Structure formats: structure tokens, C-alpha cells
Structure 1
Amino acid sequence: MELSTMDTVEMPIFGSTLKLMKFWSYLFVHNWRRYVAMAPYMIINCTQYVDIYLSTESLDFIIRNVYLAVLFTNTVVRGVLLCVQRSSYERFIEMLKSFYLELLASDDPTITLLVTETTRLSVLISRINLFMGCCTCIGFVTYPIFGSERVLPYGMYLPSIDEYKYASPFYEIFFVIQAIMAPMGCCMYIPYTNMVVTFTLFAILMCRVLQHKLKSLEKLKDHQVRGELIWCIKYQLKLTGLVDSMNALNTHLHLVEFLCFGAMLCVLLFSLIIAQTIAQTVIVIAYMVMIFANSVVLYYVANELYFQSFDIAIAAYESNWMDFDVDTQKTLKFLIMRSQKPLAILVGGTYPMNLKMLQSLLNAIYSFFTLLRRVYG
């Protein structure tokens, strides 16, 4: 396949993410599949909150239903956002595609190696997230089997229907329906995470390409340096525009997910304290690993982007700038000054997403867990 004719969905750096998005018609196509996937989830999510409000079940199942309700809400928000901003996401992906093709067409072996490494890492993260999502779906379905009461995988309020009545088939019917819907929700939740991670990994790749170009300035002849430096400044502007577009698309969702992540971990820690059997404890731990791993990957790559953008200035300074003419030195100083402001994935348009922010949240959650253990331990 020629580079110029590469299908957007087939970009190797995205792995299977865009294929799943296209299959469920969130991006690139518009058909009935998105409504089949989203409408039942929106209805069930509403019934979950009603069920929690009216619930008379044991505390451990109420807590677990709260976790699942928040998770479903997060999943629905992702799906709605993709539908509402579909054209914006598609334009952004097309812009990323043009930058990706530009790097693939490079005859610089170092750039080719950087693209290969980033593609391999993105695909690996995508596969790990999908695998963990599948394990979580299995946990949804199997958790009630190990309980002391007859319950569905996730709570639902069904007016005038007693789904737990032994003489009726309602329990079995709804159990099968929920078991089928679990992987459908996974196909909404996980691919979105993978897509955002890939966006950030590509921004990191552009930072590393820019660093390589700046470090290579000293190998060029004097009349070539200024032209290469102008290219680097233009490329830095492309990189800044890419990150700004990412923030415009995702910053408010990152705030919602930051709050949801904290809420879900608190709920899971409480569930861990009151779990009745070893099997339930194992499943709760699996939930925690899944939700924690998804969030840590996002924060780690965002943190890496933050510091890789700083390294652009260091690479420029290490380019043997003392040997350049005065005009070139001034131009290089301009690039270094621009690099002093780091590129950051923002949460709520204000706070940079990095490991320091994640650590603050985990400290607060641990304090909450310690309090719960003293009360219920």
C-alpha cells in the first residue's frame, strides 16, 4: 500500500482501535450500530441509579452497584462525546495521519526507528488494555455466582418485575442480556482510552523527532543549519497545535474521568474490606487492577509528554550553538524560549495531567481507605 493512499483506519500506530470505532460507527461511518450499543447502556445506567436508591440488598452489593453505575456513566459519556464531536475527532485524526505519513516517508533511519518503537508500544498498550477489559467483563458475569444471594451482574430497577423470583425465567433472561452487553460496553470504554493514549504517544514521538533534528544540527554545513532550524521551528508549531487540539477535544472529559477514577477506587477499596469470600476478593482486586492500569497509562504518557517537551530546549542547547552565526544563534534562542513552556495534557483546561497529580489523588484515596479499615476492619 502506498503511503499516500493509506486508509486512516489502517494506520498501524492505532492497532485495532480505529477498526473497533468504525465497526460500532462512532467514527468514520454513521449507522445503526452506535445506537444498538449506546441506547441500552443509557437506559440501564438510569435504572442502575434508581436501583441503588431503592435497593434493599446487602451493603457489599450496593457498593459494587455504585462502582458499576459510575463505570457505566463514564462509558456512556465517552460514547456520547464521540457522537457529538465525531467530525472534530475525524479532522484531528486526519491531521495526525498527515504528520504520521510525513514521518513514514522520512529517509532518516533514526526517525524510522522512533516511529517503529512508538507504533510497537502503542499496539502493545492497546492489546493489554483490551485483554484487561475482557477479564473485567468476565468478572462482571462471574461475581454474582460466588455471592451468598441471587443477584444480577449489575443492578437494574425493573418496575413491576421481580427478576429474582425463582419460579420465573426473568432472572436467567436478564442475566444473559447483561452478559452479552458487557463486551459491548468494553468496546466503548477501552478503545477510547487506547485512542487517547495513541494521540499522546504520537505527540511524544514528534518531541523525540524534534530533539533528534536539533541534536543533528552540528553535523550539517553552515549554509544548511539555518534552513533546518526554520524547519524545526515550524515543526514545533505543528506539535503545539496538535497538543492544543487534543486538549480542546478531551480536557473536560479528563476532568470527569479524574473524578470517576477517584470515586471508583474508593468504592472498590470499600468492597475489598467487606468482601465475603475469597473469590469475591479476587474479582474486586481484578477490578482495581483494570481501572488503575487504564488510568496509570494515561497519566504516565501525559507525564512523559510533559518532560519530553522540556527536553527539546536541552537538545537545542546541546547542538553546539556556539559555532553558529549570530542570526542562527538568535533563531535558536527563540526556539529554546518557546520550549520553556512545557506541552501538557490538561485536566479541566487547567491542571496538567502528570504523575504528581495522580500521586495526590492516590494519597487522598489511601487516607480514605485507612479510615474505612478502622471503622469496618
Structure 2
Amino acid sequence: MVMEKPTESNTLVKHAYQNLPLYSANVKLLIKWGYIGTPSRSQRFLLGLLPVLTLIGQVINIFKSPDADMGETGMNLFLLAIMTNSILKHFTITRKDEYFQRFLQSMQQWCNAMESYEDQHIPGLILDITRRSQKLSRITFYGSVVGTVCGVAYPFTFEHRKFIFDVQYPLFDIKRTPFYEINFLLQAFVLVPSFLCVYMTFTNLLFTFLMFGEVTLLDLRLKLQNISKDDQSKMLKDFKDCIAYHNQIIDFRDDLENLVSMALFFEVALFGLMFCMLLFFISLVHDYQLIFTAVTFIAVTLYMIAISFYFASKFTSESLEIANAAYDTPWYDGNLEMRKCVLTMIARSQRPLLVCIINTWE
């Protein structure tokens, strides 16, 4: 997928892509919070400062509490892993801000072009994945709201002062007034919402990108099926257009992998770590409240990974069908150049379009 560098001529419409129904409210949230777009440096700095300070405070708290209850220590390790995952996604988006914007803008233009087809099959598929994307976004949003309420209410179940993310810092006692009140409010109304914004929107957009990629492959198959054998020169031109379109889809996959591979790697790695911790945690702890909280975190992460792999698998499976579609074209009625083009597409289609994590695993 070709992504042009932003110029002054498109400055006024550079955020127009946020209104694409396929994106639901996900891109608008990223722009509103300042993760992409043109936020001030101070806003970008503050967005990253609080999570990093919280992560440091969590590490200090774990090392300064060697005699803490096993259940509390296990929960603190869970939350440390979650915060690490959030920070990684935060820097994945902000570090590739312009790249991310160009990707979203190019996809919007591509989607608009497909919606203008006279044949209503592909526009109908775009409408279908738009509805599915919006439905998944709503499910994730409602789940996030419930998670936020539970996270904010969790400290109030203890008799002593407790944070959503337990932290300690040198030189001063964070649980003394007014440090406790200030830090708790920052965690409840800034840290948790920003964390959910990053996690929710990143995951929802990944689902959307993979569903859109599957539709582009279906569109390519339809173009191959519509190649007519009546005119050899037109047949060759149409097939070359399909090869160019296939290249565009491959570029789309490459750009998507560049954006999400690192974050997906840590998602899977942290899930494996958290799952092992959960088994150890359950074997030692008999506090049902802590066990329920831990299982909930694992279930949410497993849901996100499972859905991501489901859509990635569908995208990959559809890419393998291109070779059959190319072979089914009337290439036998074409000239030698036409046959070479068919062989080129078939050979290229033998390698499935995988969305890999660190280029090792779908």
C-alpha cells in the first residue's frame, strides 16, 4: 500500500480519515487523547510520563515488600505486566505517529474507492465488516467500562489505603495525605482511562485492518474471475492490473506488520508469563476475590489474542486462494506474456500473507 508523505496541501484534511465508519470511534479516541495527530510536545510528554512513573513505582513497591502477602504480591506482578504491555502499545503508536496516520489515510482512500464500485458485492462486504467492526468496538468498550469500574472500586475493598496500581517512591511516603489523594485521582481519572484508550483502540483497529485485508483479497479474486477472453490485449491488461493490485495488498500486509508486530510479540509473551503466574498464584492463594480478579485479567487477554489470531488466520487463508483464482483465468487463450504473468502471480501466491510477531509467528 503506497503511503505518501504528508504535505502542506493536505494539512486541512489530514484528520478526515477519522470519520470513516469502518474505524468506528477508535481513531477519534486516539486523536482526542493525543496519541496520533498533532499534539503538543508537553501533551505527548505527559501522556508517557505518568505510566512510566507508575511502572517505576510498581517495581520499587515489589522490591520493598518482600514480606507481603503472596496474594497481594501476585496481583502486583499481574498489574506490573499489564502496565508494561500498556506502555509498549503507547510507544508503538506514538513512535510511529506519522506512519500510523498515513496508513489510516491510505486505507480510507482505498475503502472509499471500493465502496464506489458499480457491482454491489464488494461494497456490501465493506458494509458488513463495518457493522462487525462497530459491534466488536462496542463489546470492547462496554467491557472496558466494566473493567474501569472494577479497577477503581478494587482499592476500596481493603481496610487500609491502597492504589489501583500499588506504588512506592523513595524520599516520601506516597500513602500520606495529600500524596495519596493526588496519586489515586491521577490513576483513576488519567492513567486507567488512557491505558484503556490505548489497549482498546489498538486491538479494535487490528481487528478492522485484518477484516479489511480479507475483503481486498476477495476483491482481487473477483477481478480475476471477471477477466474476459474475448480480447487478448484487454485480457493481458486486466491481468497486469490484478498483479499490481496484488502488490498493493502485499504492501498493505507489510505496513500492517511493521505497525503491530512488536506490540503483538509482547502481548503473547506477557500472556504466557501471566498464565504461568496464574497457575502458581491459584495453587497458593485462597482469596477468591484475588483469584477472580486474576482470572478476569487472563480471560480478557486470551479473548484479545484469540480474536486477533482468528482474523489473521482468515486473512492468511484467503491469500492462498489467489493462486487458484489466477489459474482459473482463461490464460490458455492468451499469448506467451499472459502465461508468464499467470505463472508470476501463482508463484507469488504460494507464500501466504502472514501477519507475524517479530517475523517468526503468525
Q: Same fold by TM-score, threshold 0.5 exceeded?
A: yes
Residue 240 (structure 1) shift: 0.6
Tell me whether 1:44 sits opposite 2:54 in the alignment. yes
- Whole-Å Cα distance in 2 between the matches of residues 16 and 211 of structure 1? 31
* Aligned residue runs from structure 1 range 84-95, under 5 A: 84-95=95-106
Alignment of 1:315-354 (within 5 A): 315-319=325-329, 322=332, 327-349=337-359, 351-353=360-362
Residue 72 (structure 2) pairs with residue 65 (structure 1): no
Cα 1:11–1:187 shift into 2, 3 Å? same
Q: Shift of residue 136 of structure 1?
A: 2.2
Cα distance in 2 for residues equivalent to 1:318 and 1:137? 53
Shift of 1:19: 0.1
Asked if 2 retains the 8 angstrom alpha-carbon contact of 1:14 and 1:198, the reply is: yes
How far apart in 1 are the matches of 2:43 and 2:208?
Answer: 24
Relative to structure 1, the CA distance from residue 163 to residue 331 in structure 2 (aligned partners, 3 Å threshold; closer, same or farther) is: closer
User: Residue in 1 aligned with 2:6?
Assistant: none
| Matching residue of 2:17 | 8
The equivalent of 1:116 in structure 2 is: 127
Output the TM-score relative to the length of structure 1: 0.82
**TM-score, length basis structure 2:** 0.85
Structure 1 partner of 2:7: none
Q: Residue 169 of structure 2 corresponds to which residue in structure 1? A: 158
Alignment of 1:107 with 2:118, yes or no, is yes
- List aligned pairs for 1:184-195, cutoff 5 A: 184-195=194-205
Q: CA deviation at 1:243?
A: 0.9
Q: Distance in 2 between matches of 1:172 and 1:269?
A: 34
Mind listing any 5+ residue stretches in structure 2 that lack a counterpart?
1-12
From 246, 268, 277, the counterpart of 1:267: 277
Residue 59 of structure 1: CA displacement? 0.9
Matched with 1:82 is 93
Instruction: Give the aligned partner of residue 34 of structure 2.
Output: 25
Once structures 1 and 2 are overlaid, which stretch shifts more, 138-147 or 54-63?
138-147
> What letter is aligned with 2:266?
V
Separation of aligned partners in 2, 1:84 and 1:163:
31
Looking at structure 1, the residues matched to 141 and 165 of structure 2 have their Cα atoms a distance apart, in angstroms, of 21
Cα offset for 1:311?
1.3
User: Aligned-pair distance for 1:283?
Assistant: 2.8
Q: How many Å separate the matches in 2 of 1:130 and 1:35?
A: 26
For the aligned residue pairs, the C-alpha RMSD in angstroms reads: 2.6
Deviation at 1:256, TM superposition (A): 2.3
Hey, what's the Cα distance between the residues in 2 that align with 1:129 and 1:272?
A: 27
**Residues 77 and 234 (structure 1), Cα distance of their counterparts in 2 relative to 1, 3 Å cut:** same
| CA shift for structure 1 position 273 | 4.1
Whether the aligned pair in 1 keeps the contact of 2:78 and 2:274 (CA below 8 Å) is: yes
When structure 1 is superposed on structure 2, of 34-43 and 297-306 the one drifting more is 34-43
Looking at structure 1, the residues matched to 93 and 181 of structure 2 have their Cα atoms a distance apart, in angstroms, of: 33
Q: Deviations over 1:18-68 (max 9, x none)?
A: 100100111122135443432111111111111111113211111111111
Would you say 1:179 and 2:188 are equivalent positions? yes
**2:239 equivalent to 1:229:** yes
- Distance change >3 Å, CA 73–CA 178, structure 1 → 2: same
Deviation at 1:98, TM superposition (A): 2.4
Task: Work out the CA distance in 2 between the residues paired with 1:320 and 1:278.
Answer: 65
Q: Match of 1:91, as an amino acid?
A: R
| One-letter identity of the residue aligned with 1:121 | R
Q: Mind listing any 5+ residue stretches in structure 1 that lack a counterpart? A: 354-377
